[in-house]
Structure 1
């Protein structure tokens, strides 16, 4: 029974990845090219999300700041999900819905990249962060699930996993994050030996 459930989950993830591949990965390659351009223009990337998406934002920032597959210089990327004092201060003094937008106001500048992650595409604090990012002239990128939710209207580039199941969306996002990292590395630094 357990093996059948596990196999069904794996099959759903593979089907979602196959659908994403069949679409040509256009949004993924467009996002990676835009991020690489921002880095080459001495801009930074701000990543954010809630729960598992917060972990994905931190994962992406770690790969950019440290390294992915190439030995290369660090790239300026911040996860807005990591400073407990900032997060709790904003949530306590203002509202949880502003935990990302206030950081973007403080840290974001025109030409930077704001990458919001929400499996539903409807997380209020992620949407508010993307709204503020748009207003400040940041390029907005969203990682979400099928349809994009309200996030679709706030993103210059939207990567929507072709599924409605949260675990499958998160699994696709993990692959997309690695693809973005690898494409950025190759664009800026060439192929590994």
Structure 2
């Protein structure tokens, strides 16, 4: 009877070891066939410390500029009707936010992710889509009362991991992009 229990125990250990080796092989194959981004949110002044984001294959700035161009007559009309500087600033902030977030229309819900701040913990994203240049793009959030977002270009390679931290140093200058789009329109 003890021989049977010993044989069963060794058989179970062998099966478990075989499953572990097979699972590890699967993980290794997965890592070699995908590119990965380890993303970290390090913004202590962001409350709540969470950002909606996605990975795009092309720079969203062109779509943002097109959106600004499309809405510019409405924007100028609203600005001319503003009663004071505070109202003008509110209209400007509203236009920037709406036009940036319109860029997310093409992104389906299953491709918008939530990044939360967890010190020392990166959120890993992986894909087997073609490698190359990608953009990590966030929706607008408020930081110290101002609308901010991130638009970070990254080069990804199959089988490699890229680490990216969203922080206050690499916030996308949405106001400058908006002003540039308006200036290009006004120059025409």
TM normalised by structure 2 equals 0.27
TM normalised by structure 1 equals 0.26
Q: Which has the larger radius of gyration?
A: 2
The answer to which structure, 1 or 2, has the higher relative contact order (CA under 8 A, 6+ apart) is 2
